[in-house]
């Protein structure tokens, strides 16, 4: 039997890697080396600490309707402002569906500054 050499698949991947792929691999390799050497990451890389906002509030049918009414628009207009369908807004307000976390975050924004959302509307002339 022949001795098994390195898989052609593995060798081929490195040869087909894009310039950006090689750059990413080199950066990750450097990060691993820095970590293993015990060097503080901040001394070699940009390190940012961020505070993530709390989870969005929970919205039932009444809360969604109250949010829409704060800016005084119909379901279709509200849907257009949020970037969703009027059918979805109707389902939220009838309790058939519950807003997803991203939608609840957006509803929080509307409730936080309803005036801003009203100002986004232009009167038709």
pLDDT tens profile 27-62: 899 989 999 999 998 888 888 889 988 999 999 999
Of the candidates 111, 115, 119, 8, the one whose C-alpha atom is nearest the C-alpha of residue 59 is 111
3-state percent helix, strand, coil for the chain, nearest multiple of 5: 60, 0, 40
Q: What is the fold of 61-119?
A: 434 Repressor (Amino-terminal Domain) (1.10.260)
Predicted confidence band at 7 (pLDDT cuts at 50, 70, 90)? very low
In this predicted structure, the answer to whether residue 13 has a pLDDT above a threshold of 80 is: no
Mean pLDDT, rounded, for 88-104:
97
Q: Which residue has the higher pLDDT, 53 or 123?
A: 53
Reported confidence tier of residue 6, pLDDT bands at 50, 70, 90: very low
């Amino acid at each position: 039997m022949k001795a098994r050499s390195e898989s052609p698949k593995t060798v081929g991947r490195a040869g087909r890697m894009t310039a950006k792929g090689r750059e990413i691999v080199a950066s990750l390799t450097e990060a691993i080396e820095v970590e293993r050497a015990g060097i503080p990451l901040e001394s070699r890389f940009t390190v940012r600490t961020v505070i993530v906002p709390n989870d969005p509030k929970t919205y039932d049918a009444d809360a969604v309707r109250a949010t829409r009414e704060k800016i005084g628009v119909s379901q279709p207009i509200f849907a257009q402002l949020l970037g969703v369908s009027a059918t979805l807004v109707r389902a939220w307000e009838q309790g058939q569906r519950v807003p997803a976390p991203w939608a609840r975050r957006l509803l929080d924004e509307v409730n936080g500054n309803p005036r801003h959302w009203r100002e986004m509307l232009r009167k038709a002339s």
